[in-house]
């Protein structure tokens, strides 16, 4: 694995492919350092997904698709399909909650199986992985348009974790309508929650918003209720990692609590997500697998010291244990609507099924 420092300006694609290398912004280093990773094999790319060098549902999916392309490039002609199945199984284990990962792996694998030779399969895998990335970027543009009319005039928008272009290539999901509003000269102010324990809001969302010049402030996770009660938040927009057939939604830990606060204060609570994030085979949120991560993420904090050194320090009592669920599930009843590439979808099973059916027919044409 090769690392090199580089400035990223104007880019909205955190993961891409150059020849046989998967390249990505190392999101673990932001906002203190901007590092580019160049990964030469699918096990390396899978490790980067697992270790959260790349994170966010869409970016995980794009990285997984490119990992499948790497597997195809390196698989021997003898036993080619068997090797692709092994690679797919390996990549699927990287992050269990994000539906986009499984969508991308299955899409590239299906494309490979339609070919008649390993050489043709290698070309097709690369093309299909790139198509996943380009389709995702187009869908976020449509999400931006669908969500734009919802932006409240004169009131702040609250977002949780990071659902901008670092998390979903193109315009992002939750931040997509905000980016479009800012581009069109519409005044918008954003509260970004810090999102403990990994602080994706503090480290990534504020980095994105600062680069774009969008007015914003960082808000402690525990200060949301206070701020809502004062009438300072007009809308909540979050992303999603998996949406069940009934509308229950898995997103970064803390989203469930925000939905309850929004409901009790009468504040619209929207989930921005394209069709690959919906899981028609998952009946409800009870069946969504919830990833539990290393307890050190809770027991320690990482930042830049006064001496300019990025380091981790322990913030908890020595010797204690911690639990670290990475996601929680928000019930559909507390979601106002889904902002999708096809417009606003109601959070109920029939509307979701009709939306997904519409998307399937569009892809078949």
Which one, of 272, 288, 287, lies nearest residue 347 by Cα?
272
Check residue 54 and give left, alpha or beta (phi > 0: left; psi -120 to 50: alpha): beta
Question: Residue 278's beta-bridge partner residues?
Answer: 243
Spell out the alpha helix ranges (H) of 224-309: 224-229, 255-265, 296-299
Which has the closest alpha carbon to 238: 226, 252, 228? 252
Q: How far apart are CA 293 and CA 310, in angstroms?
A: 21
Closest C-alpha among 43, 47, 49, 71 to residue 61: 49
DSSP state of 209: H
The SS3 of residue 313 is strand
Q: Is the peptide bond before 208 cis (omega within 30 degrees of 0)?
A: no
Question: What does the alpha-carbon distance between residue 247 and residue 355 come to, in Å, rounded to a whole number?
Answer: 12
d(CA 41, CA 68): 10
Asked about 241 being catalytic, the answer comes back as: yes
Q: Which residues contact 191 (CB under 8 A, 6 or more apart)?
A: 156, 157, 158, 159, 216, 217, 218, 219, 227, 232, 233
Where are the alpha helices (H) located in the chain, listed in sequence order?
42-50, 57-74, 80-92, 99-113, 118-147, 176-183, 200, 206-212, 224-229, 255-265, 296-299, 349-364
Diameter of the chain measured on Cα atoms: 66
Distance from C-alpha of 53 to C-alpha of 24, rounded to nearest angstrom:
8
Catalytic residue among 26, 135, 136, 241: 241
Catalytic residues, which ones?
A: 241
């Amino acid at each position: 694995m090769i690392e090199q420092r580089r400035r990223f300006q104007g880019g909205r694609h955190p993961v891409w492919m150059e020849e046989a290398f998967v390249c990505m912004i190392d999101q673990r280093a932001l906002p203190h350092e901007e590092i580019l990773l160049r990964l030469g094999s699918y096990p390396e790319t899978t490790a980067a997904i697992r270790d959260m060098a790349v994170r966010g549902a869409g970016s995980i999916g794009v990285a997984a698709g490119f990992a499948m392309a790497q597997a195809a490039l390196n698989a021997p002609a003898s036993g080619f399909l068997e090797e692709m199945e092994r690679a797919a199984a390996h990549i699927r284990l990287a992050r269990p909650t994000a539906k986009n990962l499984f969508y991308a792996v299955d899409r590239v694998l299906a494309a490979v199986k339609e070919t008649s030779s390993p050489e043709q399969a290698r070309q097709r895998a690369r093309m299909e992985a790139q198509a996943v990335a380009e389709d995702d970027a187009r869908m976020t543009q449509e999400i931006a348009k669908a969500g734009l009319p919802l932006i409240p005039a004169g009131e702040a928008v609250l977002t949780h974790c990071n659902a901008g272009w670092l998390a979903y290539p193109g315009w992002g999901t939750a931040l997509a309508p905000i980016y479009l509003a800012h581009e069109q000269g519409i005044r918008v102010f954003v509260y970004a929650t810090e999102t403990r324990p990994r602080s994706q809001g503090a480290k990534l969302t504020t980095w994105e918003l600062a680069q774009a010049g969008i007015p914003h402030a960082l808000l402690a996770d525990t200060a949301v209720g206070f701020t809502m009660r004062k009438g300072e938040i007009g809308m909540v927009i979050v992303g999603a990692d998996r949406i069940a057939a009934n509308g229950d939604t898995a997103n970064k830990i803390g989203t469930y609590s925000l939905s309850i606060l929004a409901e009790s204060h009468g504040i619209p609570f929207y989930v921005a997500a394209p069709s690959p994030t919906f899981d028609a085979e998952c009946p409800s949120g009870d069946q969504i697998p919830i990833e539990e991560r290393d307890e050190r993420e809770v027991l320690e904090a990482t930042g830049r010291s006064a001496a300019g050194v990025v380091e981790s320090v322990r913030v908890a009592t020595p010797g204690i244990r911690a639990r670290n669920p990475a996601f929680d599930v928000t019930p559909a009843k507390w979601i106002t609507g889904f902002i999708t590439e096809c417009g606003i979808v109601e959070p109920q099973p029939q509307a979701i099924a009709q939306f997904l059916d519409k998307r399937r027919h569009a892809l078949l044409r």
